[in-house]
Amino acid sequence: MKRKLSFAFTLAVLSAGVSAQNVQLHYDFGHLLYSDLDSDHANRAPYTSTVEMFRPDDWGSTFFFVDMDYNDGVSGAYWEIARELCFWKGTSVEWLSAHIEYNGGLNTAVGSFNNAYLLGATYSGHNADFSATWSLSAMYKNIPHTKDRNGADHTHNYQLTGVWNLSMLGGWMSFSGFIDFWSEPRPWQNTTHILLSEPQIWLNMNKISRMEKINLSVGSEVELSNNFVGEGFYAVPTLAAKWTF
């Protein structure tokens, strides 16, 4: 779960100045590849749905997504909502925006996820035709009541996020993703830092003749993490479908 904030989706439609949303369904192979992620441990649900929404306005943009995990019914829910503020559009520094974000959720196996409140700045860029977009965010991350293995308070943390989106082969394929690096001590781990990246590759079916109005994409995501789902490195692929509205 925790399919992290997909700013690649946001950036892909930002240039058009329109609202957009999509729904995704992922089959997760983690429970088949790693014994500590199998269903007996109730840590890794095989299916995850994701709803994403992006809406720009005169002051910036709003993005949110909601994940729901399914393992004999709904076993978890997680959401993130982020606001980019840019009152200076049309100036020489419109590539810079203020970033505000909230993360949180619940899971039947582990209970509540830590609430997280983020504040920082985002740099965004693109090529001439917007077929390639990217962003880099540096943020202060407040995670209330966070403690390390020795019980010391670690409420104050940080996060760095990079995001990209590439439209390839005349729009037939899309390659998008993000990479996060943040500090978050966990009582059950020795480390205080976490790395997470989730590249996605999509084949866009609306490029097929007579399917122009069928906004279906099929593809895969690979969750690459270190000290996220567990201590150490994991590479977890999915098989996925996405409908864009």
Predicted pLDDT at 18:
54
In the chain, what are the helix, strand and coil shares in percent, each to the nearest 5?
A: 10, 55, 35
CATH topology of domain 7-244: Porin (2.40.160)
Count H helices, E strands: the chain? 2, 14
Sequence ranges of the domains in the chain: 7-244
pLDDT (0 to 100) of residue 183:
94
pLDDT of amino acid 40: 55
Could you report the per-residue pLDDT of 10-65, keeping only the tens digit for each? Answer: 554 544 455 579 999 999 998 888 888 775 555 678 999 999 998 888 898 899 99
Distance CA(133)–CA(165), nearest Å, equals: 5
Residue 8 has pLDDT above 60, yes or no: no
pTM comes to 0.88
Enumerate residues 6+ apart whose C-beta is below 8 A from 203: 172, 173, 217, 218, 219
Average pLDDT rounded to a whole number, residues 173-187: 92
